[in-house]
């Protein structure tokens, strides 16, 4: 056995031992009953939908009441709730635990049936990825993940589980498991039935399956040795699943992001779908086939450029683990700061940006110095939004002024940049909507507090709408939407419709809205032709700030949570 092979085996053993040690610690502290899952996206025939047409397409059964309902984007599932997809229906679920940063994404493919426990799979196909400890169970096997991307295909008739691990590590524990519901649900009907607990297993078998391996697990049979995946299998897997990843990312790249990897400065990586698909394909293939720090970092930066903050933060954290020297890399720290900002975790974003400023030579290099200033402008703008939502006017004013100074410094230190110039214009209008040096695009600049009704996003109640130039932020206790505003052509009755283009993942890529009422009593509703109901009515009296918005965190994606 040569030295290179011995080194590879030694590294694999270290990964396995560290993952196992961490696994036992976390499982003890995070009971499955605390897990919740939110429906992030629904695809029917490959097209995104806000809800299914019937329970035949997407069926939810509540564990506490037995009630059956149609699945919708934004639906929250708790321990024991069941979900079942029909033919040509696929769903993205985001699993989280309270008071942790665990974020697991599960794609349920067509004709699949599962329950929340972490995930209990009755049958079907599932793709699991994300950050944190997470169990996937069937009636006869438990799969424990750590920093992993894998697919399982559960055949309840043949009593087999096909496990394909793309990245990371999966612990296989073979024994009998019961569903999380008090009584099981028949495969084809959501009705209660008698259930006999399985007899204790006569033998327990365990195994470790690492990245680029697959194995078929049969009930009550020895677990065979995993088989190495071929490169062509990985390429096929990426090609088959890319549309799922793209469908669950923002419809447009945030207009205040300067791309690192994907494109030139004047392009939007999502505008050219073919280019976006090619970029994502190459990055995912490289990160799976050769999961080193370089390829993992590149995938994280591609996700950042697409506006997928949580995914970006996960990949960049993996890269940092693989290569601790990245903690002294200014450009890497800036990307991390932007990923956390896009995720809504402004405190971590500020910490990463502070670390970037203190790396050797950070401000001496004109490119990195400028990038720090742009990221600082973005962060201060988002911190101002939090302060505005809380009605903390002094803090909002301070952050907006710091944002303006950062953008102005970036403009002075580099070549003309339309992204930075647009950001500067927007923050000028946030400070003073009559600023003579700023260009007003919508004429709607201001902060509006009122009552929201947005059924497609499952949001209702108190909200704050902030419009500065070409940007808007709609802040609600359960989530925040950000994006760009594009004025349309006046209609015959003199009304101007506005396209609200979402740059955070949501149930729809855009809304076409109209503004009625006065400056102090705005009413924002659907413009003619807009099918998704939206109503925002401004309060006519002064109202206090939103107490649900934390000082250093603004609600964002995990389905509009963080």
Concatenated DSSP letters for 503-546?
A: SS--SSSEEEEEEEEETTEEEEEEPTT--S--EEEE-SS-----
Residue 190 has pLDDT above 50, yes or no: no
Does the pLDDT value for residue 500 go beyond 80? yes
Is residue 408 a contact partner of residue 401, using CB atoms and an 8 Å limit? no
Neighbours of 345 (CB within 10 A): 22
- For 480, residues 6+ apart whose C-beta sits below 8 A from its C-beta are 344, 385, 473, 474, 504, 554, 555, 556, 560
User: In 273-365, at which residue ranges do the beta strands (DSSP E only) sit?
Assistant: none
> Which one of 1.10.20, 2.40.50, 1.20.58, 2.30.280 gives the CATH number of domain 365-439?
1.20.58
- CA distance readout (Å), 272 to 116, 279, 432, 470: 37, 11, 35, 22
CA 519 to CA 497: how far, in whole Å? 17
CA distance 300 to 309: 9
Note the pLDDT tens digit of each residue in 304-314.
988 899 899 99
303 phi, psi to nearest 5 deg: -60, -40
Structure tokens at 262: 């994907």
Quick: pLDDT tens for 94-109: 988 777 777 889 999 9
Q: Spell out a b/e string for 370-409, using b for 16 or more CB atoms within 10 Å of the CB, else e.
A: bbbbbbbbbbbbbbbbbbbbbbbeebbeebbebbbebbbb
Q: How confident is the model at residue 541 (pLDDT cuts 50, 70, 90)?
A: low
Q: How far lies 394's CA from each of 350, 387, 548, 552, in Å?
A: 19, 8, 19, 15
Q: Which CATH class is domain 3-230?
A: mainly beta
For residues 371 and 559, what is the distance between their CA atoms, to the nearest angstrom? 29
pTM: predicted TM-score of the whole model, two decimal places: 0.83
CA distances from 181 to 86, 291, 459 (A): 21, 38, 29
Cα–Cα distances (Å) from 492 to 489, 512, 523, 527, 531, in that order, read: 10, 16, 20, 13, 20
CATH, range 249-352: 1.25.40
**Considering only 271-280, 384-393, 435-444, 480-489, which range has the smallest mean pLDDT?**
271-280
Cβ-based neighbour number of residue 40 at 10 Å: 23
Q: What is the mean pLDDT of the chain?
A: 83
- Check if the beta carbon of residue 108 is closer than 8 Å to that of residue 85: yes
Q: pLDDT of 347-386, one tens digit each? A: 999 999 999 999 988 888 888 999 999 999 999 999 999 8
Per-residue tokens: 203: 């033998």
């Amino acid at each position: 056995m040569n030295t290179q092979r011995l080194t590879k085996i030694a590294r694999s053993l270290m990964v396995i031992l560290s993952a196992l040690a961490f696994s036992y610690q976390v499982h003890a502290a995070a009971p499955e009953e605390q897990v919740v899952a939110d429906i992030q996206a629904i695809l029917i025939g490959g097209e995104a939908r806000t809800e299914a047409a019937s329970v035949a397409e997407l069926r939810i059964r509540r564990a506490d009441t037995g009630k059956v309902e149609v699945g919708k984007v934004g639906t929250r599932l708790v321990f024991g709730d069941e979900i079942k997809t029909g033919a040509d229906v696929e769903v993205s679920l985001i699993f989280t635990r309270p008071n942790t940063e665990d974020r697991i994404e599960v794609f349920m493919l067509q004709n699949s049936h599962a329950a929340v426990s972490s995930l209990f799979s009755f049958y079907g196909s599932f793709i699991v990825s994300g950050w944190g400890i997470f169990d996937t169970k069937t009636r006869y096997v438990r799969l424990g993940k750590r920093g992993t991307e894998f697919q399982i295909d559960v055949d309840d008739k043949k009593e087999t589980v096909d496990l394909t691990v793309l990245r990371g590590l999966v612990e296989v524990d073979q024994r009998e498991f019961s569903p999380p519901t008090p009584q099981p649900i028949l495969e084809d009907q959501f009705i209660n039935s008698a259930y006999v607990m399985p007899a204790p297993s006569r033998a327990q078998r365990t195994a470790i399956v690492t990245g680029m391996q697959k194995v078929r697990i049969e009930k009550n049979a020895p677990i065979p040795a995993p088989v190495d995946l071929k490169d062509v299998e990985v390429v096929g897997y990426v090609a088959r699943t890319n549309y799922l990843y793209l469908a669950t990312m923002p419809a447009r790249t945030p207009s205040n992001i300067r791309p690192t990897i994907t494109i030139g400065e004047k392009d939007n990586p999502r505008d050219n779908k073919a280019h976006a698909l090619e970029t994502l394909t190459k990055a995912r293939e490289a990160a799976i086939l050769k999961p080193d720090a370089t390829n993992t970092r590149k995938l994280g930066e591609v996700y950042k450029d697409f506006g997928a903050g949580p995914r970006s933060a996960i990949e960049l954290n993996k890269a940092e683990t693989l290569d601790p020297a990245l903690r002294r890399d200014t450009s890497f720290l800036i990307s991390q700061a932007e990923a956390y900002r896009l995720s809504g975790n402004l405190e971590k974003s500020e910490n990463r940006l502070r670390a970037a400023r203190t790396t050797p030579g950070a401000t001496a290099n004109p490119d990195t110095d400028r990038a720090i200033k742009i990221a600082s402008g973005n962060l201060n703008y988002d911190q101002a939004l939090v302060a505005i939502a809380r009605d903390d006017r002094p803090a909002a004013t301070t952050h907006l002024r710091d944002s303006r100074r950062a953008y102005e410094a970036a403009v002075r230190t580099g070549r003309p940049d339309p992204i930075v110039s647009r950001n500067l214009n927007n923050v000028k209008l946030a400070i003073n909507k009559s600023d003579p040096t700023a260009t007003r695009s919508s004429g709607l600049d201001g902060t509006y507090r009122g009552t929201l009704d947005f059924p497609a996003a499952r949001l209702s109640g108190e909200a704050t709408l902030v419009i500065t130039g070409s940007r808007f932020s709609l802040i609600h206790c359960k989530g925040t939407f950000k994006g760009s505003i594009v004025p349309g052509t006046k209609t015959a009755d003199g009304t101007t419709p506005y396209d609200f283009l979402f740059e955070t993942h949501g149930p729809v890529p855009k809304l076409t809205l109209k503004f009625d009422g006065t400056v102090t009593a705005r009413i924002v509703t659907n413009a003619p032709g807009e099918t998704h109901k939206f109503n925002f009515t401004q309060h006519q009296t002064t109202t206090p700030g939103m107490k649900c918005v934390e000082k250093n965190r603004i609600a964002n994606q995990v389905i509009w949570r963080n």
